[in-house]
Structure 1
Amino acid sequence: MIKGVLLGFASFAAYAISDAFVKCLHGTIAPYESVFFGAAFGLLALPFIMAKEDRWRDVVTARKPVLWWIRALSGAIGNIASVTAFTLLPMAEVFTLIFLMPIFVTLLSVLFLKEHVGWRRWSAVVVGFLGVLVVLRPGFRALGVGHVAALICGLVAAASVVALRMAGPHEKRISLYGAGVVGPLVAGALMMIPHFAWPNLHQWELLAGYGLLAALAGVLLMYATLIAPANRVAPTQYSQMLWAIGFGYWLFGDKLDWPMLIGIVMILGAGLFTLVREEKVTPWWKRAKMV
């Protein structure tokens, strides 16, 4: 249990550092080009994820193809939105909006899985969205593409989680991971063709850091959920906020005001409550064995 949780913390630390790398690319390379090369480096994780009975074709096939496509499209949209958000906004602000994902999962579960949601989870949804209003303060501060991109990232991440639930525990991990890599790889390639510019040495270093660390994070997360219950690993995602605040302050000169800190606490609290409450309503053993 402890080892799995520690691997979870290590995984999300790697994800946060990966995001810091891509933020350093701001203004030097298009987001979709970063997504393409990041996904290309992500392919290096495949040998560490494949089981003995897996085949390479399983990367692009699945028992439920529609859900594979949902994962692939979610990965493509989510990665492009994520890179866009991190290059335009403070890291802590991006994570705050992305961490609406558990709340979006609740809403999508009602629509597509017909789950019953009690007053406690609805209260968490309300608190989460009030937290968004506190962070964004529409009408009192300028909102831009980065904010929209971060919200889209949280929404498509929730769609991907719902697809995982619908896929069930028998879908191969290699297929689930493959969808999350192939989608961004193809979408990034198509979008960067008209204005492709070959990265210079420094950009290659940043792209490698972004892609390799994200791949490492995916492998660590997989092993974490193999040796510890997913409901114990999932909350470690919120440790990314500490990394984001630290990186934002020391590397990028980001500053957080009191309203934003209050909004962050509201959203994180609502998200953590939703994770805990969902575990009581929909046990993880009924879901896919991968977060």
Structure 2
Amino acid sequence: MLKGVLLAFLAYAVFAISDASVKLLKGGLNAYEIIFWGALMGFTILPLVRRPGERYRDVFSASDWRLWIMRAVAALAGSLGSVMAFTWLPMAEAFALLFLLPAFVTILSVVLLKEHVGWRRWGAVAMGFIGVLVVLRPGFRELNPGHAGALMGALASAVTIVMLRALGAREKRVSLYGAGLVGPLLGGFIMMLPGFLWPSLEQWVFLLGYGMLAAAGNALLMLASALAPASLVAPPQYSQMIWAIGFGHWVFHDRLDAPMILGVAIIIGAGAITFLREKKREPKGWRRTPLIHPQ
């Protein structure tokens, strides 16, 4: 179990470096091209995802095509939102808004899965949105597309998690994983064509950092989930904030003011409460985690 938790910390550190690679691409390639190359590189861990007896062509198979397509579209929206967030925003601010994910999962679980949610989890949802208002301070600071992208990424990732909760027991793992790559791959390819630019050598370095490290993080996360319950694998995600602050300070020279620090703390606290409540509900809660990192 300890190895699983340590692997989770390592996985989220790798994801943070992958996200920093996106920010280093700012002003170079458009978001659609970034998610296309990232999805293409994501196929490199398909052999690790495939269970015995599953075929590679099962990536394009599903018992319910409507839900498979919804999963692909949600993955496209989540990838696009995340890239927009890390392109436009300081890393810590982007992560803070993306950490609204547990609140969206709670809401969608009630609406779509008819799960019972007690007052503590509803309180955590309200707390999370209060934290977002503190971070954004609408009317007191200028907002940009990155803020919309971060919220879109969190919501799309929540849709993915809820769908995997509903589909995980009756779909092949390679199909669930594949839908999460096919959506960004096809959507990114179509949307990048009008303004396509072949990456320079320097851009290839950052693209490889984004795509290959994201794939490596997913592989580590799967190993962690095999060794420890998901209620212990999910909370280390908040360690990404440490990496974000470090990268922001030393690499991107970001500045965090006091209200933003307060908002980040509120959002993380809300997520921690949600995880603690989910832990008490195992095996019905976070044990049914997505096979890949939501971002």
TM over 0.5: yes
TM-score by length of 2: 0.95
Alignment check: 8 A CA contact 1:77 1:153 kept: yes
1:13 counterpart SS class: helix
Q: Which residue number corresponds to residue 221 of structure 2?
A: 221
* C-alpha separation in 1, matches of 2:134 and 2:283: 32
2:57 counterpart SS class: helix
* C-alpha separation in 2, matches of 1:168 and 1:188: 26
* C-alpha separation in 1, matches of 2:173 and 2:221: 12
Q: Which residue number corresponds to residue 78 of structure 1?
A: 78
1:105 counterpart SS class: helix
Alignment check: 8 A CA contact 1:100 1:128 kept: yes
* C-alpha separation in 1, matches of 2:233 and 2:286: 16
Q: Which amino acid aligns with 1:150?
A: A
Q: How many Å apart are 1:287 and its aligned residue?
A: 5.8
Q: Name which of structure 1's ranges 44-53 and 179-188 shifts more when overlaid on structure 2.
A: 44-53
Provide structure 1 residue ranges, at least 5 long, that are not aligned to the other structure: none
- Please say if 1:87 is aligned against 2:95: no
Q: Which amino acid aligns with 2:242?
A: L
Alignment check: 8 A CA contact 2:36 2:184 kept: yes
Deviation string 1:178-202 (CA, Å, 9 cap, x unpaired) is 1111110011000011111111111
Q: Which amino acid aligns with 1:60?
A: F
* C-alpha separation in 2, matches of 1:209 and 1:168: 29
* C-alpha separation in 2, matches of 1:243 and 1:64: 39
Q: Which residue number corresponds to residue 235 of structure 2?
A: 235
Q: Which residue number corresponds to residue 249 of structure 1?
A: 249
Q: Which residue number corresponds to residue 148 of structure 1?
A: 148
Q: Which amino acid aligns with 2:98?
A: I
Q: Which amino acid aligns with 1:242?
A: I
Q: How many Å apart are 1:57 and its aligned residue?
A: 1.3
Q: How many Å apart are 1:150 and its aligned residue?
A: 0.3
Alignment check: 8 A CA contact 1:169 1:289 kept: no
Q: Which residue number corresponds to residue 133 of structure 1?
A: 133
Alignment check: 8 A CA contact 2:278 2:286 kept: no
Q: How many Å apart are 1:32 and its aligned residue?
A: 0.6
Q: Name which of structure 1's ranges 76-85 and 62-71 shifts more when overlaid on structure 2.
A: 62-71
Q: Share of identical aligned residues, percent?
A: 55
Q: Which amino acid aligns with 2:233?
A: V
* C-alpha separation in 1, matches of 2:195 and 2:184: 17
* C-alpha separation in 2, matches of 1:222 and 1:274: 22
* C-alpha separation in 2, matches of 1:284 and 1:201: 47
Q: How does 1:185-224 map to 2 (within 5 A)?
A: 185-224=185-224
1:289 to 1:129, Cα distance in 2 relative to 1, 3 A = closer
Q: How many Å apart are 1:122 and its aligned residue?
A: 1.1
Q: Which residue number corresponds to residue 157 of structure 1?
A: 157
Q: How does 1:48-63 map to 2 (within 5 A)?
A: 48-63=48-63
Alignment check: 8 A CA contact 2:160 2:290 kept: no
Q: How many Å apart are 1:255 and its aligned residue?
A: 0.9
1:285 to 1:147, Cα distance in 2 relative to 1, 3 A = closer
Q: How many Å apart are 1:285 and its aligned residue?
A: 7.1
Alignment check: 8 A CA contact 2:98 2:151 kept: yes
* C-alpha separation in 2, matches of 1:67 and 1:278: 25
Deviation string 1:26-52 (CA, Å, 9 cap, x unpaired) is 011101101101111111111222222
Provide structure 2 residue ranges, at least 5 long, that are not aligned to the other structure: none
Q: Which residue number corresponds to residue 39 of structure 2?
A: 39
Deviation string 1:73-113 (CA, Å, 9 cap, x unpaired) is 11101111111110100000000000000000111111111
* C-alpha separation in 1, matches of 2:222 and 2:265: 28
* C-alpha separation in 1, matches of 2:20 and 2:4: 24
Q: Which amino acid aligns with 2:59?
A: V
Q: Which residue number corresponds to residue 182 of structure 2?
A: 182
Alignment check: 8 A CA contact 1:12 1:240 kept: yes
* C-alpha separation in 2, matches of 1:287 and 1:66: 25
